[in-house]
Structure 1
Amino acid sequence: MFEQDALVALQVEVRLRGDADGLTRLKLPDHWGTARELWTLLRDFTVEGATVADDADPSIRRLTAAPDAPLVVRYRVVSGFDRDPTAEDGQPFLPIIRPTWFDVFGEALFAYPEGREDDPATFTWRDAPPAFRFASDLEHLAGARPGVVGDVLESIVIGGPDLDTRAHGQVRVAILGDYDFGHDAFFDLSLAVIAAQREFWGDEDAPFLITLAPQKKIDGSMTYGGTGRSDAFTLTVAENASIADLRHLLAHEYFHTWNARQLGGQADGPAEGAGKWFAEGFTEFFTWRLLLRAGLYSLEDFVTAWNGALLEYWTSPVRDEPNARIVADYWNDHAVSRLPYRRGPLLAAIWEQRLRQATAGARDLDDVLKAMRAKVKASPVKLAPDAAGVFPPVYRELGGPDLAADLARFVDQGVAIELPADVFGPCVRVVDSVRREFERGWDVDATAAAGRVVTGLREGSAAWRAGLRDGMAIVEREAGVLGDSTVPYVLRVRDGERERVIRFKPEGERELPLQQLELAPDLTPERRAACARELSGA
């Protein structure tokens, strides 16, 4: 819907049959990712063919009508942002509806009859101005495959006059925004990632959509995030992101086409967090592995990716938390949400080494995941609550050892996971060391809430000793790596009427254990190629 040529809302119309007992519980958009109470963004809600009543659950509308009566639900969805999202907003799950474009998840857009997610469903986009372009994985429901209500919910819609949509076979890439990289580079990288992973799984060409939407750049801040759909994934990135940064993001999100969806799925509700070590952690492991196999990562890129993950794991303030903490706080605490991403790859590396040893090199985790997919596809019933529950017995069937003790110790209890020195073979060794904890010195959340004005600075911290004080405004971080205490921080700050540069090493007082990978030195070109094959499982 437009007001004075500016887009202000998306109009939604849902046509359905009422329930056979005459009472239909209509579920409104509620929570998705970190977004809550999405129903508060609905306007002008009406229903034809039924009377409407509220429910104790504010996200439910009770529709009373004749049994199986035809109903028409209409409402508008307004934006969760009153400005363009920026690099400081993190991954946006609220609907983004701006004057000239929109980018919205299906979970934030569509109401549906509760308990009928498997009912057939179709989708139509209409009434937009001719020059207003549109792309969605919902367009696949028109021809490629029959759709159900669940497909409509798990979708992405994006549009605007400047939407740049390109196709190769049945793959479409829809891009909004201007970035430090060109649209051609993103399109080429997307196709390369898709080709590599489809080759891994042995899949042929099928409809798939990748969407990319911008977040305004903020000096000293960077963000990029993505979410996988069943036949799409959507990315939102800062305009100053580099194309190299997007290799991991593209590969990770595309791998979610299979993990966990085709390997046993994820549990419903809060229990979803229990299997994140597999759904996210194993996806990380295969992201790095397949990027190396495809030649999109060099050996150095592979080691750097692993070292970044190991640094985050060993310095995490919640490293030793039990899996129950992830179930409770996955969507509430950023550090907790990152933990399964970091535990999973470590377990994958260890368990792959054990599987290869047990089968004299005949099997690896590639075989396990492919066997999981085949087993899930062939089974008429759900094999386990989620893919994390399917993995251990299939791993055992292919010759691996029993994982029950490891799962209890490292997943359930949260005991720290140490990689064996030779877990990656002769090309890379794991080195143990210690490092000072990373500490910026100020209260990060309070400083952000104050508009980047330094708040809660600890007296005696490295930043304080370098001259930083409460009340100074951070203009830009010119150098420094979040989480890495060995890389000096360089801040440009505003101190009263003048700007100054403050340099310090972001070291805290505690020393922390750390593991890192080291690539074998003096590798010949032939040995480098062999190492790439070994480390990528090719």
Structure 2
Amino acid sequence: MSASFRAVLLAAAVLTTSAAARPPETEPVRYQVTPVMQGADLQALEIEIRFRGDADGETRLELPNEWGGETELWRRLTGLTVTGASVAEDGPQARILKHAPGAPLTVRYRVSSGAAADPRAPYRPIVRPGWFSVLGETVFVVPADSAGRSASFRWGRLPRGWTAASDAEHGAMGRPLSVDDVVESVSLGGADVTVQARDIPGGRLRVAARGSRLFTDAELADLAARVIGADRSFWNDTAEPFFVAMTPLEDAAQGSVYRGTGRTDGFALYGTANVDLAAYRYLLAHEHSHTWVPRALGRMPEGAQEPSAYWFSEGFTDFQSYRSLLRSGVWSPEEFVARLNETLAAYAASPVRTAPNTRVVADFWTDYAVEKLPYQRGMLLAWTWDRRLREASGGRLDMDDVLLRMRDGARADGAGATFAPDRFFATYREMSGVDLSADYARYVTDGAAVLLPADLFGACAEIRTETFPAFDRGFDAEKTAAAGNVITGLRADSPAYAAGLREGMKLVKREGGQPGDSRVEYVLRVSDGAGERLIRFQPVGKGEVTRQTVVLAPGLDEAARAACARTMSGA
């Protein structure tokens, strides 16, 4: 054997030994997404995943199952194949791969929904002839126990003239990417997708959008940059790119719909064409605040128990969003008060206002009133506890200080080390000397109604508390909307029935009245076989409600308005 041949064999042996010795989990999981076309129409998204199998020769593959109220998401995946391993089902949402120890594996499958962007279920994968919009939780398969494992992402060949964008691309922009990041991503692509870029503190913002709306893509990008910039300036700890995807929804049967969900380094917006830009101010602020609340503050309960802590993750996010919008000038004091009053009115009128937290866990995804309860309850508790902290510290501290110290603590010992609510209570007690456990039991666990302190905003605004008869429209509003605005669930003992409203009438328009306020006459334009007419009634129900209203101090000049904006926002 020649010396040169021995050298080649030795080198090969070294490489083989090195590859075998390298733990599979140290190598990245590589994702690629490619549009599959038939002529000019998109048929599916082909997803390819390359990774090394486990060292023991058996790897469990987990398929999407439940997220955002959707179930059996694995049904939307077809044609799953694996190169380098045999495949066996382990129930519908998992596969067991048998392979050589640490073998390179390639998983391929397709996602093809063909579904319209349904306002009632916006988070489903959307694959249409000319475009797509998908959340990672609903489409990406992952090797079991790969949380935190490094990952890469890239687009396959895009159709001519198409643009695709995703926050998963941030791995190629200098931000370390993990499998978790790919799963918690949003991707938008199509022939008419535009991408606007803006500079923000610590990085670059991209806003991808498609479809027609009441505002331009550039106006959306400008607003997003302003809202995100304000939050980043407050937390002062972020230096990475950010991504926003705007997905259009089909027209709703009644009114307008806009929703959103936060990503670690971006968020997804959804809306019908009739939503104006002002509506997205709150949504942008709320979703971006999720970058910190609760992600940077502690971990959340998992699975079915996750909604048990939504009073913190959603309610405190609303609290922080409202303050940020006022502090940054995106909202005026009048807009801030108006939005806070909307929340107070909705909370007062909620049929589940005093429901215990167990009800939130059980019905969050199936009952709209229950879904809104932890947002309302948590935000009002945040305002109440902010006031108590300022009082206990002689005005030196407020809730901003608690959240920032929580962030610092989570950074020191790991955000996943402690439940975010537990970290909050411990930090609050440490800073104020006040134990909130009795409040938690009363307001969150048991569901007692939360009332804001009358002097919450000092001389800038008064908190008025009134008690009046409960509101009752007499019919089921949700079922009526779902039935195409045909009156459904009308009760014969209601004022609406006494005024002439009947089951099966077509609701044309609400001409008067304020949902939740029995003191304002309700006026409905309806139609039936006899034509259109107005039905008028006082929407008074059984029992009483206690409602609070914020009233901005009258006669404030510009200097006083600016001072009050600082006071009410905690600046």
* TM bucket, shorter chain: over 0.9
Q: Residue 251 of structure 1 is aligned with which of 285, 293, 302?
A: 285
Q: Residue 478 and residue 42 in structure 1: after superposition, are their counterparts in 2 closer, same or farther (change >3 A)?
A: farther
Q: How far apart are the structure 2 equivalents of 1:19 and 1:180?
A: 51
1:525, distance to aligned residue in structure 2 (A): 2.6
Deviates more, 1:412-421 or 1:520-529: 520-529
SS of equivalent to 1:398: helix
Task: Identify which of 179, 188, 191 aligns with 1:161.
Answer: 191
Return the offset for 1:502.
4.1
Indicate the percent of aligned positions where both proteins have the same amino acid. 48
TM-score, normalising length: structure 2: 0.88
Distance across 1 between alignment mates of 2:287 and 2:364 = 18
1:347 matched to 2:377? The reply is no
CA distance in 2, matches of 1:475, 1:6: 38
Paired with 2:133 and 2:514, the residues of 1 have a C-alpha distance of: 30
**Matched residue count:** 532
- 1:147 counterpart SS class: coil
Distance 1:14 1:490, change over 3 A: farther
Structure 2: segments with no counterpart, 5+ residues? 1-35
The one of 15, 22, 37 aligned to 1:2:
37
2:196–2:218 contact (8 Å) kept in structure 1: no
Q: Which is worse superposed, 103-112 or 470-479?
A: 470-479
Which of 328, 336, 355 is the aligned partner of 1:321?
355
**Distance in 2 (alpha carbons) for counterparts of 1:223 and 1:7:** 26
Checking the alignment, whether the CA contact within 8 Å between 2:300 and 2:306 is kept in structure 1 is: yes
Preserved CA contact (<8 Å) 1:90 1:224: no
| Distance in structure 2 (CA, Å) of the matches to 1:490 and 1:254 | 39
Alignment of 1:26-425 (within 5 A): 26-55=61-90, 57-79=91-113, 81=115, 83-85=116-118, 89-90=119-120, 92-169=122-199, 170-203=204-237, 205-218=239-252, 220-380=254-414, 382-384=416-418, 386-425=419-458
Letter in structure 1 aligned against 2:561: R
Q: Flag the 1:355–1:329 CA change in 2: closer, same or farther, 3 A.
A: same
**TM-aligned CA distance change 1:348 to 1:80, over 3 Å:** farther
Cα distance, 1:258 vs structure 2: 0.8
Label 1:204 to 1:120 Cα distance change in 2 as closer, same or farther (>3 A).
closer
The match for 1:516 among 534, 539, 549 is: 549
- C-alpha distance in 1 between matches for 2:409 and 2:341: 34
Q: What's the CA shift string for 1:278-303, capped at 9, x where partnerless?
A: 11101111111111111111111111
Matched residues in 2 for 1:91 and 1:481: separation? 27
Write out per-residue CA displacement over residues 398-431 of structure 1, whole angstroms, 9 at most, x where no aligned residue: 2341112111221222222122211222211211
Stretch deviating more after TM superposition (255-264 or 43-52): 43-52
1:84–1:98 contact (8 Å) kept in structure 2: no
Give 3-state SS (helix, strand or coil) of 2:153's partner: coil
Q: Which amino acid aligns with 2:352?
A: V
Amino acid across the alignment from 1:216:
E
SS in 2 for 1:123: strand
Label 1:205 to 1:486 Cα distance change in 2 as closer, same or farther (>3 A).
farther
Deviation readout 1:322-348 (Å, 9 max, x if unpaired): 222222332232222211101111111
Rg larger for: 2
1:525 equivalent among 538, 558, 570: 558
Corresponding position of 1:439: 472
Counterpart of 1:435 in 2: which secondary structure?
Answer: strand
Deviation string for 1:363-382 (max 9, x for gaps)? 11111111111111111584
1:355–1:400 CA contact under 8 A, matched in 2: no
The letter for the 2-side match of 1:116 is S
SS of the residue corresponding to residue 16 of structure 1 reads strand
In structure 2, the CA distance between the partners of 1:2 and 1:501, relative to structure 1 (3 Å rule), is farther
For the residues of structure 1 that align with 2:415 and 2:506, how far apart are their CA atoms?
58
SS where residue 56 of structure 2 aligns?
Answer: coil
Instruction: Identify the range of structure 1 (465-474 vs 37-46) with the bigger mean alpha-carbon deviation.
Output: 465-474
Provide the rounded CA distance (Å) in 1 between the counterparts of 2:333 and 2:150: 47
Q: Distance in 1 between matches of 2:220 and 2:269?
A: 11
Counterpart amino acid of residue 211 in structure 2:
G
How far apart, CA to CA, are the structure 2 residues paired with 1:171 and 1:15? 29
Relative to structure 1, is the Cα distance of residues 351 and 103 closer, same or farther in structure 2, using a 3 angstrom cutoff? Answer: same
Q: CA distance change for structure 1 residues 455 and 326 in 2, over 3 Å: closer, same or farther? A: closer
Which amino acid in structure 2 is aligned with residue 12 of structure 1? I
User: Relative to 1, partners in 2 of residues 1:503 and 1:119: Cα closer, same or farther, differing over 3 Å?
Assistant: same
Q: Please tell me whether the aligned partners of residues 106 and 156 of structure 1 are also in contact (alpha carbons under 8 angstroms).
A: yes
The one-letter code sitting in structure 1 at the alignment partner of 2:393 is T
Residues 356, 362 of structure 1: 8 Å contact kept: yes
Q: Deviations over 1:135-194 (max 9, x none)?
A: 100000113222111111000010111111110131111111111222232121111101
The whole-number CA distance in structure 1 between the counterparts of 2:518 and 2:51 is 57
TM-score between the two structures when normalised by the length of structure 1: 0.94
> Closer, same or farther in 2 for the Cα pair 1:126/1:489, shift >3 Å?
farther
1:171–1:206 CA contact under 8 A, matched in 2: no
SS in 1 for 2:282: helix
Q: Is the 8 A contact 1:175 1:211 kept in 2?
A: yes
1:293–1:18: structure 2 CA closer, same or farther, 3 Å change rule? same
Quote the Cα distance in structure 2 between the aligned partners of 1:265 and 1:334. Answer: 25
Q: Structure 1: any 5+ residue segments left out of the alignment?
A: none
- In the TM superposition, what whole-angstrom CA distance separates every residue of 1:437-491 from its partner, at most 9, and x where no partner exists? 3333223344344333222322243433443322222344455554444555554
Q: Which amino acid aligns with 2:496?
A: A
Cα deviation for residue 121 of structure 1 reads: 0.9
Change (3 A) 1:382 1:6: closer
Relative distance call for 1:490 and 1:133 in structure 2 (3 A) is farther
